[in-house]
Structure 1
């Protein structure tokens, strides 16, 4: 039976204590420097057919300072998913290589499960026993996975639906519900200090704890991320953790042997996203984040601080908020436990503005449906797998950063071209069109009559003569996506994304950045590989450094979720090249 990790329950039943981590050079509020660091590791099982990789949750106790204010005790822990070869060393320091990955916005550690396992398997075929660490942000401590855990263990979607929607307890615990933005100010105000500085220190704490020797880290660790995680990694390379140029053993660039960018760029300059504007080369070179004076950086820091205080969690009234992000996991759970069952999620969903409007935004075929709610999307009949596909697939999901290429509605049930929020021909004319909308045509069910059954064809079931999509445009398995979005103990989505992380990334002239971001463009000192999804956010490798690998048919999430076996008969290119880099980082020069 699958076992999710619990905070203090190690596989051995013990709590391990390792040498102290000293987080130096920190101005309050900052993480406290504990006298010892508790470490808990719990293995977990999944239904993945890959049995040569051991998966576990690792948690380290890195307490926040009292100046952060009241916060839940579990938020004094930082966590990651550790993937390693089953026949490899148990001690991380003895692995041949370790890939450390930062997640993107609204993303958790579970999103890396496929790319992590596939990379480890391919490296093992070349005689290397490597590890992949998928980091989870500290703020994910606020999520309540009780219902998902119990439902996955019992392979019953109803257990989760009853817990989150109907108030039924699990093991004596009842779901406390989701908060609105007014509640968030008082309840989660401490998150205003979980910005780039604390995020980097959490990563450094984990790396130091599990690979104590700095020279070993510098030789064996590859640092990278997906989406926003690439920019976090860019900051990490440029960061000096004690703020002292005379001591560089703690500099971020001295912890990494190389860098990998998964549909992102390893840079601290967020204007790199302007690449997708398709500007002329001369103008593109001029678009860079300006170097502003320290005094202006202080003013910006104060203004951003007000935003972070009023909106500590990125939570919109609809579409993006904790309730809807949990809904994605529940859709995946239904598809994972009963893929051919019908309407499990649709029938269980409560009626409220947030959920009803989110369904309209994601699934409406035109403005009439989006505005009036007619035909009622809840009247559709669809398999659980088709519901997940309709939400996440690039032929349906309207927003590029949330798309994966997982197949198409199976033949037999009619679809029509979407014109909401934009028709395909108009969307392609918009700036950053691929980043915003993806690069594949959008369709929606056209017969919502409560009778017609919509089923799903997986990525490898698409026929060459299908006019709605093509086999080369489908690269991820719907069943694998369902598993990754519902089974890992640290989940795929992120309910409570701290607004301060984004605002602090935007201000490279903040007091914290002036004190610690001492090595601009430091990532360019080491080997680097940049993966660019054809339907992704379109970021090139910074200054042409390292190797740029373009991925036709891939969307933003596919760089994490693509299946090991591709429709063109070739190996999956992200994991193949990550494994090559793990074998020899210089191969990416």
Structure 2
């Protein structure tokens, strides 16, 4: 079901901190409109300063943050929990993305009498994000306040948006890569649970997508620099590993090995050339493109989520209320063009259609609309007007024309798009409303079915809008990817010496049936039929087949063991 009307939501969202100024740890209760009961959430910030070698950086970036989910009926102290799951996000992903799977897993374990915690980590670079506008819009139940803050220079509580950070402003990210990221996780775990034996007994380490790679490197890493001792080794901090549509492997998901140098040609010249490129600014210090994937568009997802969270059935005006720019116009053109002639001509545009807020969000992230597989979720389908095949950026009959290999990039599901400009109000069928009457593709088969829909669009909207740590990652460090690709080069991962670490503990692989497809299912894997890459994080606790949500149920059972 869609989330309740705005009036039913908490007035919101952060209560007073649990520690005073000057403390090196601050824990703040978080209230959201989640339908999953019995789970207590808080945001935890721990001061772990960056080394001087990182260079000048904001003071806020000397803090590490995570979302802590725990059984409300369980112990208040993490050290007394039965298990603690510590999760690394995927690429362009923040702690808020784990909202649903964390709640569902904690609740599933509680039903079996186990008190577990789920810690969703936020990476260091997320300190650069400014959530002021979204939080203000949420508190006032007015999405326009968020747009006004980010686009119209309007202040919130005396604060004015400073703009999206430029490449020059994030120079310190050239020094924040693989080593800093795994060390941040280690330092956080040690700070929160100082006893190594307790960590080894209670903590499970894992992640989603790229988080599986980072977990593998964490397991291999020697954190005290003395390679002959193992008490500090990453694999000795975890009792097991969990992989959410990924593998606990030092190979990038879907690549089956090192990152192809064709994707980043500078890799061919080695680690020294890459670092020189980062230091000079020739290589962007955070992953960014002129449209579709950049800091602004990641923030726009939060704003779209806020609109759908507050008024799912309201008529969306974001395409017109957000000021026009090359970035926004090109992004909408890439996402909402029916075919190549429409894209080239630039007409009709998204502004020629009427959508509800839920439909606008669905158009951005649903697997039958969003063109990039790693950003897809199964949240329902269009309704309210004529729907046709979306043949841009690729046709729907990829297999027939010998381009089936593109499905790993674009996802396996046929894409659909509204086809009545200046016509009806397009609405959205939620995941549990998809059944008879779904429009058919040009080949005569329905675009989707109830078996292929697993995520409540209202819950997705809530996770995008209501979490104090973002669903997305606006400033993903380029050095993270280049370090992983060049890990064998001297000076990159010299302390990743415990190569047996990734297999030293039990592993559960939880695969999306329609996910990235980086590896074939293996005996013992849990495969979630119909799930897309994001669904392993966002799927609803109540599924259309009447069964409990498969990922969280199996993850809770694994933790109990």
5 Å matches for 1:148-167?
A: 148-167=134-153
Q: Which residue of 2 aligns with 1:377?
A: 350
Give unmatched runs, 5+ long, in structure 2. 1-9, 261-266, 439-445
Cα deviations by residue, 1:506-553 (Å, 9 ceiling, x for unpaired): 1121334452010114221211111221221113389x5x73122221
Q: 1:187 to 1:167 in 2, by over 3 A?
A: same
Partner of 1:198: 180
Distance 1:104 1:361, change over 3 A: same
Match of 2:91? 105
Q: 1:307 to 1:521 in 2, by over 3 A?
A: farther
- Contact 2:368 2:381 (C-alpha < 8 Å) held by counterparts: yes
**Equivalents in 1 of 2:250, 2:87: separation in Å?**
16
Matching residue within 417, 423, 435 for 2:389: 417
Please tell me whether residue 363 in structure 1 is matched to residue 363 in structure 2: no
Answer whether contact 2:18 2:26 (CA < 8 A) is retained: no
Please give the alpha-carbon distance, in whole angstroms, between the structure 2 residues aligned to 1:48 and 1:457.
20
In structure 2, the residue matched to 1:283 is none
Aligned partner of 1:11 in structure 2 is: 17
Q: Which residue matches 2:197? A: 215
Residue 228 of structure 1 is matched in structure 2 by 210
Inter-CA distance 341–572: structure 2 relative to 1 (3 Å threshold): same
Q: 1:133 to 1:16 in 2, by over 3 A?
A: farther
What does residue 73 of structure 1 align with?
59
Pick from 526, 533, 549: which aligns with 2:512? Answer: 533
Deviations 1:60-98 (A, max 9, x none): 111112222211110111100000011111111110000
Deviations 1:163-216 (A, max 9, x none): 11211111111112224xxx41x2111101110100011101110011111111
Contact 1:339 1:383 in 2 (8 A): yes
Residue 554 of structure 2 corresponds to which residue in structure 1? 577
Which deviations, in whole Å up to 9, do the C-alpha atoms of 1:297-354 show, x marking residues without a partner?
9972212213433210111111111011101111110000011110232231211110
CA distance in 2, matches of 1:207, 1:432: 40
2:514–2:530 CA contact under 8 A, matched in 1: yes
Aligned residue for 1:531, secondary structure, equals: strand
Kindly report which structure 2 residues correspond to 1:152-551, keeping only aligned pairs within 5 A, or say none.
152-179=138-165, 183-184=166-167, 186-270=168-252, 273-274=254-255, 300-309=270-279, 310=281, 311-410=284-383, 412-426=384-398, 429-430=402-403, 432-449=405-422, 451-464=423-436, 466=438, 467-513=446-492, 515-540=494-519, 547-551=524-528
Name stretches of at least 5 consecutive residues in structure 1 with no aligned partner.
Answer: 18-37, 276-286, 291-296, 585-589
What's 2:264 paired with? none
Other structure's SS at 1:481 match: helix
CA distance 1:518–1:421, change in 2 (3 Å)? same
**Which deviates the most, 463-472 or 207-216?**
463-472
**Equivalent position SS for 1:511:** coil
Q: CA deviation at 1:440?
A: 1.1
Q: Is 1:560 matched up with 2:537?
A: yes
SS in 1 for 2:388: strand
Task: Tell me, yes or no, if the aligned pair for 1:78 and 1:138 is still in contact at 8 Å.
Answer: yes
Whole-angstrom distance in 1 between the partners of 2:68 and 2:116:
11
**What is the distance in 2 between the residues matched to 1:57 and 1:133?**
10
Indicate how the Cα distance of structure 1 residues 164 and 473 shifts in structure 2: closer, same or farther if over 3 A, else same.
Answer: same
Give the deviation of 1:254 after TM superposition.
0.2
What TM-score does the superposition give when structure 1 sets the normalisation length? 0.87
Q: State the 1:356 CA deviation.
A: 0.3
CA distance in 2: counterparts of 1:464 and 1:566, whole angstroms: 17
Distance 1:444 1:306 in 2: 44
CA 1:306–1:10: 2 relative to 1, 3 Å:
farther
What whole-Å deviation, never above 9, does each CA across 1:402-461 have from its counterpart, x for those lacking one?
000000012x31111011000111268436434311111100110111x31100000000
Q: Any conservation in 1 of the 2:54–2:176 contact (CA below 8 Å)?
A: no
- Count of aligned residue pairs for this structure pair: 536
Is residue 267–residue 521 contact of structure 1 (8 Å, CA) maintained in 2? no
Tell me how far apart the structure 1 counterparts of residues 217 and 278 of structure 2 sit (CA, whole Å): 20
CA distance in 2, matches of 1:15, 1:562: 38
Counterparts in 2 of 1:236 and 1:406: CA distance versus 1, 3 Å: same
Determine whether 1:60 maps to 2:46.
Answer: yes
